[in-house]
Structure 1
């Protein structure tokens, strides 16, 4: 609202106040005239008292109340009309500022709420990503553990198979040696000691070697404690 509007409003209040005072004076004059002429005139009809009561109500209650409100709200003897307009304008400006502050405060609260909501959403997203990463890491660890167990089981199986093969090979070797010994025993030769023969000559004759190792082998095959032999003795030649 501009200053001209405030000025027009104050002027309207002033004119209204003057009109109300003029009307009050007229009503007072009419009341005095009615009072002076009441002895010569007949009492008025009862139906005409209603407008009079309304006029009296307006005159003695409503108008003074309006004037009182005007004096309380607007009238200040020490201020001019321009100062009153200025004060009124300042009040309006202050009200506008208060409203602006309230709006700014509301806007600030809304911004804070939006920021808090954004932060909450961002934190929830981070938590979800962290949980997804933890689940992924747990799944990878589980897969690694399963792969490790599978590798250990495969290695254990390979070791068992290798041990089984080694055992089978050992048994086969033992069987082969037993068969060889059996065949050697079947092929074993004998020699009957003749005159002028000794164990060294017999070994040299059959093996072409009269070393101690060859002699020991003959002694072991025959259970001989030494190299002594006698004529007619049958000696096994391994």
Structure 2
């Protein structure tokens, strides 16, 4: 049923009530005239508001007006004063209760679009946060890998330094051992080359020096004394002396 049909139906209903009211008033007036009522009483009766009109206004017209107002002009979240300002000077139209107002449809559409926009925004933010988390994890993994490689390189460097120090120590010890061996060998060779003499009877240090060195000077005698740790030139028969 369209708005115009619904409005026509209400108008016909109202006219039928008015006709019934007029008929009731006429029948009451005719009864008064039959009973000898005067014209003044008839005029006074006509001025009274009929009961059916009052009932029509209370139970049909007022609820219908309120229903039409809420269906046509009321919007959630909008005050009555704002609705009256928006509808001032406009014509009231009766709408089918089954029809949804355009304003409500627009509000629902806007709310749906806002929800979709909000959901898209949240999805975008979630994707951005996921991407940032992925980048942070990759960066952290790269840092940990670099730190591990640096630690391994430092350990390898320390191990190489320790190996080099060990090799140097071994080389030093080998060199010391070689020098000691050479010194020992030199001593042995010197000892092998060193001559000895057993003192015989009637021999003294001067004669021994002449026999071996061909020189009996004080320097030669001092060299013999030094080699044998002697403090004087005195010798004993059978004594073995070194001749450097």
Compute the TM-score of the two structures, normalised by the length of structure 2: 0.54
Match of 1:146 in 2: 151
Match of 1:192 in 2: 212
Equivalent of residue 113 in structure 2, options 108, 112, 118: 108
CA gap of 1:176–1:39, structure 2 versus 1, over 3 A, is same
SS in 1 for 2:185: helix
Equivalent of residue 122 in structure 1, options 109, 120, 127: 127
CA gap of 1:153–1:69, structure 2 versus 1, over 3 A, is closer
Taking the aligned partners of 2:243 and 2:187, their CA distance within structure 1 comes to 19
Q: Which has the higher helix share?
A: 1
Task: Report the CA distance between 1:30 and its aligned residue.
Answer: 3.1
CA-based RMSD of the aligned residues comes to 4.1
Match of 2:165 in 1: 160
Match of 2:41 in 1: none
Deviations 1:205-234 (A, max 9, x none): xxxxxxxxxxxxxxxxx79xxxxxxxxxx9
The yes-or-no answer on 1:178 pairing with 2:191 is: no
Task: Report the CA distance between 1:170 and its aligned residue.
Answer: 1.6
Deviations 1:23-81 (A, max 9, x none): 011111233245456789xxxxxxxxxxxxxx95333x13356679999x8xxxxxxxx
Taking the aligned partners of 1:116 and 1:105, their CA distance within structure 2 comes to 16
Taking the aligned partners of 2:194 and 2:64, their CA distance within structure 1 comes to 159
Deviations 1:112-140 (A, max 9, x none): 11111111211220121122113202321
Task: Report the CA distance between 1:99 and its aligned residue.
Answer: 3.4
Match of 2:43 in 1: none
Match of 1:12 in 2: 9
